[in-house]
Amino acid sequence: MTRSSFSPEAFRSRFPLFAQPENRDLVYLDNAATTQKPAVVIDALAEFYLHSNANTHRSSHRLARRATAMVERVRAQAAGFLNAASPREVVFCRGATEALNLLAFSLCEELERGDEIVLSTIEHHANIVPWQMAAARRGLNLRYIPHTAGVPQFDRLGEVLGPRTRIVSLSGGSNALGLRPDLAGIRRQLRGYNLRWVVDAAQLAAHEPIDVQAIGCDFLVCSAHKFYGPTGIGLLYGREACLAGMVPWQGGGEMIAEVGLYQSQYAGLPHRFEAGTSSLAGIAALGATLEFLREQDRTAMAAHEQGLLARLHEGIAALPGLRLLSQPQHNLGVAAFAPEAGDASDLMHWLDGRDIAVRVGSHCAQPLLRAAGSGPTVRASLAAYNSYADVEALLVAVADYLQLDQSLASAAGGTCHWSRDSLGALQLERLAAQRSWQDRYRELLRWGKSISAKPEIRLPANLVRGCEADAWLVHREEGGRHYFAFDSDSRVVKGLAALLLSQVDGREAGEIRTRDLAGLFRELGLARHLSESRSNGFHALLQQIQALVSD
Ligand code: PMP
């Protein structure tokens, strides 16, 4: 097939999820978590179960032979995708996480107490925790590349290399900031050391063609679902000479040549690392994914993504009230930002109300965000099917949120006392009458402004247990009636608290206990639309209210 130059519209039209009626307005910017799948990949899954489903065994029946041949055909395709020297260097696994666990187990089995593993602060938890576990088991030491506010100074890698360094396991691209390290620079610094170099290419493989020989690494891991493939299948590349010396990490069927009662002989490469039944349909669909990618002009795809990324950063940088953590240079396609005041989750919920899918949190990179002195961030991550219209939709929605936030903040300014009257003015009917979720959400945020700032109640003893956002609740009883005061940084949580308190404040215990407030939460559609963490927050607050009036 001849390569054509890249058309984002034509590319997007290959992805049926976007054509579903409920997704017509969807702006999907959560690609670093997982990408959508083209029809050819979805079809390949069904095709396998329709025509080829059998477990693999070379010397078995027709279908089994067919499945076996398919697996080895896809392995050869994957070797081509990675530019590995041979299919023997390609191990199928569940994904990058499993591949990194395999490496952490098998490589560290051979190490001695006091040997060192070098990591960086930008790593995904999947490239930290397995090494921590292996280090604890084998008495090894972890060392981190020097960093500035969490961002590794990869050019100072040499400072943490030494005679005991055995493994260097580094990101090929960060899921939290998008930062793509200079792999050639890393390779130069590693020259002359007797160690194994692992590249976590979970993000990299989605945005650039991979050439393990040009990179010069010993191992590389990736997950198909990040590059338009199915979930549950990933690749571990290992240089043949390295894989050959490693002990298997899991035992079972498929990975053995012969089994005795007390000892077994393992299969050759790469099967000795593939115990049990693999995701065979996943492998079939991975084959379709690799073919799909082979037909694309990946240079043009990457150029399109970089254009979007530049616009995204330019747009966000122009919005006052936002802190931008990512940089557009050396970035695979991530914008990470947070409101300067308030809670990033509120912004995420606002965007969700406009059907814009982004992610909020620490993005499995807690050490990075902690070192950066940052709380949770909002992450917008790009794929080649995104358009400039997607980026503009995000920028407009964020600007609207900031404007609303600003007007709420100035309206709340000065009135520092929580008052029952202002809660009494909140009318449930008005909230229920908002037809669209976006309008209801806006109303809920307005309700949140009735809860004024109360630094005096922000004490550990008043924290609402089980609520992910910080939230404080105090209570007093007068003449058999119960009164409450509440505070939180999250506008949504404040809105939910206003909703709850408007139903219980100034009432008697019996009345509060019998009111079906959880039912009200469901009736208002809040259970359906709010994230699990916000729903948990509501229920935690409700429980605390019930406990306070029962004491
Ligand atoms: N490393 C990086 C950089 C990632 O972004 C991810 C997934 N977010 C992983 C490792 C783990 O990948 P998976 O969950 O597919 O195993």
One digit per residue, the tens of pLDDT, for the chain of length 551 reads 444 589 999 999 999 999 999 999 999 999 999 999 999 999 999 999 999 999 997 778 999 999 999 999 999 999 999 999 999 999 999 999 999 999 999 999 999 999 999 999 999 999 999 999 999 999 999 999 999 999 999 999 999 999 999 999 999 999 999 999 999 999 999 999 999 999 999 999 999 999 999 999 999 999 999 999 999 999 999 999 999 999 999 999 999 999 999 999 999 999 999 999 999 999 999 999 999 999 999 999 999 999 999 999 999 999 999 999 999 999 999 999 999 887 898 899 899 989 999 999 988 999 999 988 888 999 999 999 999 999 999 999 999 999 887 776 665 443 334 444 367 678 888 888 888 888 888 889 988 888 888 888 887 778 898 887 889 998 888 888 888 899 998 888 999 999 999 899 888 999 898 889 999 888 888 888 888 888 888 999 999 998 888 87
Q: Is 97 in the pocket of ligand 1 (CB under 6 A)?
A: yes
> Which pair of tokens denotes residue 105?
């187990």
Which amino acid residue places its CA nearest to atom 4 of ligand 1?
Answer: 202
Q: Is 381 in the pocket of ligand 1 (CB under 6 A)?
A: no
Q: How far is the CA of 202 from the centre of ligand 1 (A)?
A: 5
Domain spanning 413-550: CATH 3.20.20.140: no
Q: What was the pLDDT predicted at 409? A: 65
Q: Which residues participate in catalysis according to the annotation?
A: 364
Q: What was the pLDDT predicted at 124? A: 97
Q: What was the pLDDT predicted at 406? A: 76
Q: What was the pLDDT predicted at 483? A: 86
Dihedral, CA atoms, 110, 126, 35, 340, nearest 10 degrees?
Answer: -150
Give the contacts of 510 (CB within 8 A, at least 6 positions apart).
none
Q: What was the pLDDT predicted at 413? A: 43
The Cα–Cα gap between 491 and 317 comes to 23
Pick the CATH number of 40-294 from 3.40.190.10, 3.40.640.10, 3.90.930.12, 2.40.30.110: 3.40.640.10
Q: Is 177 in the pocket of ligand 1 (CB under 6 A)?
A: no
Determine the residue of 119, 364, 368 to mutate for testing ligand 1's pocket, defined as the one with the most ligand atoms within 8 A of the Cβ atom. Answer: 364
Give the contacts of 259 (CB within 8 A, at least 6 positions apart).
265
Domain ranges in the chain are 8-30+297-405, 40-294, 413-550
Q: How far is the CA of 108 from the centre of ligand 1 (A)?
A: 21
Which amino acid residue places its CA nearest to atom 14 of ligand 1?
Answer: 97
Q: What was the pLDDT predicted at 276? A: 95
Strand ranges inside 156-274, DSSP E: 165-171, 196-200, 219-223, 234-238, 256-259, 264-266
- Ligand 1 atom closest to the Cα of residue 126 is 10
The Cα–Cα gap between 471 and 453 comes to 11
Give the end-to-end CA distance of the chain in Å, rounded to a whole number. 74
Q: How far is the CA of 15 from the centre of ligand 1 (A)?
A: 22
Domain spanning 8-30+297-405: CATH 3.40.47.10: no
CB 60 within 8 A of CB 72: no
